[in-house]
Amino acid sequence: MPTLSATPALLHALPYTSPSALLRACTERSEVTSLPPLSFLLLADRLADLYEMVFPDHPEWLVEEVVDWESGGDVAAAIERFLGRVHTLFPVHDDIWDVDYMEDSGETLESLEWRLYEIPVIPMGYDEWYDGWDDLKELAPYLLHMRYSRRDEDSPYLRDEFEDLYPDHLTPRYLEPHRLVKTLRGTCVERSRSMVLPEPLDALPDLIEMLNHCTGNSFLDIGELGMGEGGGYPPWNREDVVWLAEEWQKARPILDRVHRLLDWQNSTPEEIDFKLTAVRDALLDAYQQTLTCPAQTN
């Protein structure tokens, strides 16, 4: 099973292939002399191979890209167009914003080349670096502080940061949101009690699983920093492209629900207080159910 943290391929270890895709595209244009300059030929050939691999049903896109590249900016623009088309399949970084700096430093080709060997995919998951929590929309900081910033029995003299930050929305010390996901989603069988969360609160279990990195979807379970620590971007190959497109189709509806929850009641302090209260009450209700129906805990 591929992963977003797959180890990137070593660029120098990849064998050179004949420019068949590029030459075929050239023969379909009226300007047969439209081969790129020699310095760009290998990049053009690699881009042609990717077009044939990712978009075999759109040969006209490859034909459009067989141009007389004269600068690194031309190469960057062609790669941006390719990545923009990939972006319709799954999220990728398709904006090469640093091309002017790369040209000034003489590193243009090297800096562009890696995008044709590694998929610059955009993961949607959360990184647990504390310094970035304040930039997240509530409820994410609330749930993260609830899990990581509370004083426990092993450190009774430490400051309880969760209590300081959310004095009006406290929960019992042993209430752990990631253990309440089944209860928030399901039914307490023993008492035939159903817990149905209204929209957009019905996305609360999804958000909890994203913060706990256990949705089962790689787009949702991995953040940018986590992917870097896990080995970096995956390599371009047909299997990974198909897998990423399928994973993204599964991730989109979940992510849409979570975003609706995060955007809900988020404009003023009063609205945020209302949202935090609603979530705290839902968690307390689920927690009480687990006390009477232990089988509902994760």
172 and 247 in a single domain? The answer is yes
Task: Summarize pLDDT for 56-115 with one digit per residue, the tens.
Answer: 999 889 888 766 677 778 888 899 999 999 999 999 999 886 555 555 445 567 778 899
Tell me the per-residue pLDDT of 197-234, one tens digit each, with 9 for 90 and over: 889 999 999 999 999 999 999 999 999 988 888 888 99
Q: How far apart are CA 171 and CA 159, in angstroms?
A: 16
* 78 CB-near residues (< 8 Å, 6+ apart): 47, 65, 67, 69
Say if residue 228 is exposed, middle or buried (CB neighbours under 10 Å; 0-12, 13-18, 19+).
Answer: middle
Rounded to whole angstroms, the Cα distance separating 26 from 66 reads: 6
What confidence score (pLDDT) does residue 7 get? 33
Please give the distance of CA 87 from its chain centroid, rounded to a whole number: 13
Residues 150 and 248 in one domain: yes
DSSP symbols for 178-204:
GGSHHHHHSEEGGGTEE--PPTTGGGH
- Rounded-to-integer distance, Cα 287 and Cα 163, Å: 19
Whether the bond into 235 is cis, omega within 30 of 0: no
90 near 244, Cβ under 8 Å?
yes
Query: Number of folded domains in the chain?
Result: 2
Question: In whole angstroms, how far apart are CA 266 and each of 28, 143, 207, 260?
Answer: 54, 15, 16, 10
Percent of the chain with pLDDT over 90: 52
Same domain, 95 and 217: no
Max avg pLDDT among 3-17, 26-40, 177-191: 177-191
User: So what's the pLDDT on residue 75?
Assistant: 85
User: Which residue bears the tokens 């787009």?
Assistant: 219
- Structural domain includes residue 170: yes
How far apart CA 258 and CA 252 sit, in angstroms, is 10
> So what's the pLDDT on residue 69?
76
The reply to whether 272 and 161 lie within a common domain is yes
What the block records as the tokens of 115 is: 């995008």
- The average pLDDT across 118-122 equals 96
pLDDT at 267 over 90: yes
Q: Do the domain assignments include residue 123?
A: no
With residue 188 as reference, give the H or E element that holds it. strand 187-188
Q: What is the pLDDT of residue 186?
A: 77
Please tell me whether residue 49 adopts helix, strand or coil conformation: helix
Integer Cα distance of 271 and 248 in angstroms: 31
Q: Cβ atoms within 10 A of the Cβ of 27, count?
A: 9
CA-wise closest residue to 125 among 216, 208, 219: 219
Do 167 and 47 belong together in one domain?
A: no
pLDDT for 107 equals: 53
Q: What is the pLDDT of residue 150?
A: 83
Band of pLDDT at residue 248, cut at 50, 70 and 90: very high
Domain that holds residue 290: 130-296
Exposure on the CB side of residue 118, measured as CA atoms within 13 A = 24
Q: Who has greater pLDDT, 25 or 248?
A: 248
**What percentage of residues in the chain have a pLDDT greater than 70?**
74
Regarding whether 199 and 72 lie in a shared domain, the answer is: no
Residue 236 has pLDDT above 80, yes or no: yes
**What is the average per-residue pLDDT within 241-253?**
98
Q: Let me know whether 103 and 185 are in one domain.
A: no
User: Of 116, 141, 167, which one is at a domain's C-terminal end?
Assistant: 116
* More reliable by pLDDT, 175 or 131: 175
Q: Exposed, middle or buried, 263 (CB in 10 Å: 0-12/13-18/19+)?
A: exposed
Contact between 91 and 210 (Cβ < 8 Å): no
